[in-house]
């Protein structure tokens, strides 16, 4: 358990008679990104708050260790090891970005000189040097989020909790944030990331856990999760009804869509399977007018596991990949 950055067994939390977390196990190795994925109200923030000592777990919970420290016995040591940026930013809008950073440096008892050095370095790193002397209230959403993370890094935490770090950000700011996360991890930092964005988990996380009804509905790498749901197929489209009929005769396992002259063949989309399919079409002297490969994505997994909970639209996500 001690070689994990975060280890929790049987995490439980209820508010009144509402059970939010009903026995959640978490194991996050050092230097990895772990993503807790779930729809609104699934309990992601509650999990972050418990792991970062802001909220107590129910007494029936099992042990929790963060950064090698027992959370119940030594919350101070846990606090010293972690950084948290929540959905509600710690940024004070009335003072400048630089002043926000220096305030954090003070809180971490850095000397004036060291505080200035760290502040300058982080503002530069997060592309905020130019705006450093402007009130934070004038910053864009992306800049505020970057300042928030920069402030978290003043104390050089080895474990960082990012609670929905890109919610509400435009695509460019979201990509910048992803880059920041990747750099943190390449520096050996462990990142515990909550998100509603499937693509974000897919892009960043070494392991993903889907939280549903207070428990982990599934956990694994993005690839492992995608394998849980069936649905991979190749779709062939025809314009000539005669060619369509011959193809349907040659590919008996295909499901037919007579109206749009399309055939759907179950397939993992591997090179070998595609080659064999094309060979069969060639052998029958059939040419399709269009061929697309559909592989299940995290959307499919999410919908399958959480019973069709609504997920924000992902503009970058494509289910159909033309080959």
Given the rule CB under 6 A, which residues bind ligand ATP? 15, 20, 38, 40-46, 196
Query: Do 95 and 87 form a contact (C-beta atoms < 8 A)?
Result: no
d(CA 164, CA 152): 15
Of the pair 310, 316, the CB lying nearest ligand ATP is at 310
> Nearest approach, Cβ of 196 to ligand ATP (angstroms)?
6
Query: Do 83 and 159 form a contact (C-beta atoms < 8 A)?
Result: yes
Query: Do 32 and 221 form a contact (C-beta atoms < 8 A)?
Result: no
> Nearest approach, Cβ of 158 to ligand ATP (angstroms)?
24
> Nearest approach, Cβ of 266 to ligand ATP (angstroms)?
35
> Nearest approach, Cβ of 255 to ligand ATP (angstroms)?
37
* String of DSSP letters for 63-85: -EEETTEETTT-HHHHHHHEEEE
d(CA 97, CA 92): 8
Of the pair 236, 311, the CB lying nearest ligand ATP is at 311
d(CA 316, CA 202): 12
Query: Do 235 and 264 form a contact (C-beta atoms < 8 A)?
Result: yes
Of the pair 40, 317, the CB lying nearest ligand ATP is at 40
Of the pair 96, 194, the CB lying nearest ligand ATP is at 194
Of the pair 45, 85, the CB lying nearest ligand ATP is at 45
> Nearest approach, Cβ of 48 to ligand ATP (angstroms)?
8
């Amino acid at each position: 358990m001690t070689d994990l950055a975060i280890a929790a067994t049987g995490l439980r939390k209820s508010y009144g008679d509402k059970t939010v977390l009903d026995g959640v196990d978490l194991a996050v190795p050092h230097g990895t990104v772990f993503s807790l994925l779930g729809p609104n109200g699934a309990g992601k923030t509650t999990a972050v708050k418990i792991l970062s000592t802001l909220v107590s777990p129910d007494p029936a919970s099992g042990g929790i260790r963060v950064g090698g420290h027992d959370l119940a016995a030594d919350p101070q040591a846990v606090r010293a090891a972690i950084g948290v940026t929540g959905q509600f930013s710690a940024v004070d809008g009335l003072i400048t970005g630089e002043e926000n950073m220096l305030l954090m440096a003070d809180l971490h008892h850095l000397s004036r000189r060291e505080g200035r050095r760290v502040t300058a370095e982080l503002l530069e790193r997060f592309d905020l040097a130019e705006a450093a002397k402007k009130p934070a209230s004038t910053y864009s959403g992306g800049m505020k989020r970057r300042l928030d993370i920069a402030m978290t890094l003043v104390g050089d935490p080895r474990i960082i909790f990012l609670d929905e770090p890109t919610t509400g950000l435009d695509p460019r700011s979201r990509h910048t944030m992803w880059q920041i996360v990747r750099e943190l991890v390449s520096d050996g930092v462990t990142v515990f990331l909550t998100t509603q964005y499937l693509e974000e988990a897919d892009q960043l996380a070494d392991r993903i856990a889907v939280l549903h009804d207070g428990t982990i509905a599934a956990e694994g790498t993005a690839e492992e999760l995608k394998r849980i749901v069936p649905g991979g197929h190749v779709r062939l489209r025809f314009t000539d009804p005669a060619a369509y009929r011959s193809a349907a005769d040659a590919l008996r396992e295909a499901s037919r869509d007579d109206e749009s002259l399309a055939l759907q063949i179950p397939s993992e989309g591997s090179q070998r399977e595609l080659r064999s399919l094309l060979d069969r079409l060639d052998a029958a002297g059939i040419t399709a007018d269009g061929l697309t490969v559909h592989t299940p994505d995290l959307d499919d997994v999410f919908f399958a596991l959480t019973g069709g909970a609504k997920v924000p639209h992902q503009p970058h996500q494509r289910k159909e990949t033309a080959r």
